[in-house]
Amino acid sequence: MSNAAQQFLEAAGTITRNLRHRGLIQTALRKYEVARDRKKSAFNDWSSARQSAAETKWDAINHLDTYLTEFTSKIEARGTKVHWCPTGPEARDTIRGIIRDAKAKCVVKSKAMTAEEIHLNEALEKDGFEVVESDLGEYIVQLRKEPPYHIVFPAMHLTRDEISDLFERELGSAPTREPEELTMIARRALRRKYIQADVGITGANFAIAETGMVSITENEGNARLTAALPRVMITLLGIEKVLPKMEDLALFLPLLATAGAGQTVTGYNTLYGGPRQPGESDGPVEWHVVLLDNRRTELLADPEQRDALHCIRCGACLNVCPIFRNVGGHTYGTTYSGPVGSVITPHLRGLQDWKHLSNASSLCGACTEACPVKIDLHHHLLQNRRNAVGETPSWIERLAWRAHAFAVNTPALYQFGQEVARIVEPLRQRLQGTPLDPVKTWTSTRDLPPVAPESFKEWWRNRR
């Protein structure tokens, strides 16, 4: 078992017994469900909208070279520098170089999961730069020195009291139970940062090939400010973010907001097509777009799971996943958690180390049903399981499944097994609760149904 798998099991064991966590997450996500259902019902046809989005992303991903080339030439024509980075370390070094060249001290950042993916903050802090997360949720988890709990709701695992304590400790603010007051404390603390910062770093939700623009979705206005005031702007995004046309946003913005947060569209959806242009009064004088591969091309090379690159990071699959709702975001130990994280992490970080996430699923399919771009998520989990076995089978398991096949395929043996189970049942019951219980993974929390005195097949034979 990999270290990651061991850590997952331990963390899951602890957190699933934490009823406070369970209650907090269930309550938050029920609120989300109500809002999402209301906004879904405002669509004339949600199901067809999803299908259309899936087709559009299929087009984008299956012509990725064409669209990326188009995007790059269009955006560079307006004075933007595009950096293509095959790996995380290369992207990190590129960004460090840009910041050093800008002679920056303070960097303000708006939410970017790709930055989490390449561990950008740690690298920049090691270089001695001050890095401030500006999204409220990200700011909170940054102060707590922990990774985001959820790709859309980074601090959903915390109560207002915990946040108040945190602000009191880190910012010296007076304790309060009012979310509004807590938000204003962060607003005041971050205002100065936007004005002081020399460099702003953002992520992006979409890259529009046709016009050479990136689109950033947010609610707070922090990305708007990050892209307005600092002298240098850096945008980091994965190569899969491409959409062919600007008008595609007319579909994708409502789809993302509805599935992700239960909103018609989010507060700010902003297209950036270059640094400050002649005749404009503000905005960065330099803009760098960093395109990240980081093994996305390996996922692209798997036609069976290529549609996982359609993901628009809305978080809908996390929100509906009963596993996520019980183990929470941190248990996964990955940048991308929940069903989509379980699907793509083995491709991005190695199948053998991360296959346990594909096994830790009841394959209920709620994720696939919720996905606004119709990624076949739960079937990809099955494929990951098959691929992991195909790559390095466990001979003990293989032998066990062969024995199982032999037993169920041989009626006499199968019946004999039932007889044995019937005979040892009283003994098994006596062992229940002891370390010798052969089925203790089941019986530690659940009763086991007894073997019936007469099986169906015996009844059927006797009846005729």
Under rule CB under 8 A, which residues in 144-173 are in contact with another protein? 153-156, 158-160, 163
For 17, other C-beta atoms within 10 Å of its C-beta total: 9
Q: Cα angle vertex 142, ends 83, 234, to 5°?
A: 20
- For another protein, which residue of 100, 105, 402, 430 counts as binding (CB under 8 A)? 402
- For another protein, which residue of 143, 182, 232, 311 counts as binding (CB under 8 A)? 182
Task: Identify which of residues 163 and 199 has a Cβ nearer to another protein in the complex.
Answer: 163
216 in Cβ contact with 205 (< 8 Å): yes
Cβ 100 to another protein, closest distance in Å? 19
- For another protein, which residue of 20, 280, 435, 462 counts as binding (CB under 8 A)? 280
Task: Identify which of residues 31 and 103 has a Cβ nearer to another protein in the complex.
Answer: 31
Q: Which residues within the stretch 223-242 sit at the binding site for another protein (CB under 8 A)?
A: 224-225, 227-229, 239
Pairing outcome for strands 199-202 and 81-85: unpaired
Q: Is 137 near another protein (CB under 8 A)?
A: yes
Cβ 112 to another protein, closest distance in Å? 16
Q: Give the closest residue to 241 by CA, choosing from 252, 232, 225, 227.
A: 252
Give the type of residue at 163. Answer: I
Q: Which residues within the stretch 406-445 sit at the binding site for another protein (CB under 8 A)?
A: 406, 408-409, 411, 414, 418, 421, 441-442, 444-445
Q: Is 405 near another protein (CB under 8 A)?
A: yes
φ and ψ of 379, to 5 deg: -75, -30
Size of the site for another protein (CB under 8 A): 182
φ and ψ of 426, to 5 deg: -60, -35
Using CA atoms, how far apart are residues 145 and 140, in angstroms rounded to an integer?
9
Q: Which residues within the stretch 91-130 sit at the binding site for another protein (CB under 8 A)?
A: none
Task: Identify which of residues 6 and 444 has a Cβ nearer to another protein in the complex.
Answer: 444
- Piece of the chain touching another protein by CB under 8 A; list 99-107, 120-128, 337-345, 397-405: 397-405
Task: Identify which of residues 50 and 121 has a Cβ nearer to another protein in the complex.
Answer: 50
- Piece of the chain touching another protein by CB under 8 A; list 60-68, 98-106, 125-133, 337-345: 60-68
Give the type of residue at 147. Answer: P
- What is the sign, positive or negative, of the torsion defined by CA atoms of 383, 387, 390, 392? negative
- Piece of the chain touching another protein by CB under 8 A; list 116-124, 302-310, 311-319, 423-431: 302-310
Using CA atoms, how far apart are residues 97 and 94, in angstroms rounded to an integer?
5
What would the x/- binding string for another protein be over residues 347 to 386, using CB under 8 A?
------------xxxxxxxx-xx---xx-x--x--x--xx
- Encoded tokens for 103: 């002679």
- Encoded tokens for 14: 């602890």
| Helices of type H across 63-178 | 64-76, 88-101, 113-117, 120-126, 136-143, 160-171
Cβ 450 to another protein, closest distance in Å? 7
Q: Which residues within the stretch 185-224 sit at the binding site for another protein (CB under 8 A)?
A: 186-187, 190-191, 194-195, 210-211, 213, 219-222, 224
Using CA atoms, how far apart are residues 46 and 162, in angstroms rounded to an integer?
38
Burial class (CB in 10 A: 0-12, 13-18, 19+), 321: buried
- Piece of the chain touching another protein by CB under 8 A; list 121-129, 318-326, 333-341, 423-431: 318-326
Using CA atoms, how far apart are residues 216 and 224, in angstroms rounded to an integer?
9
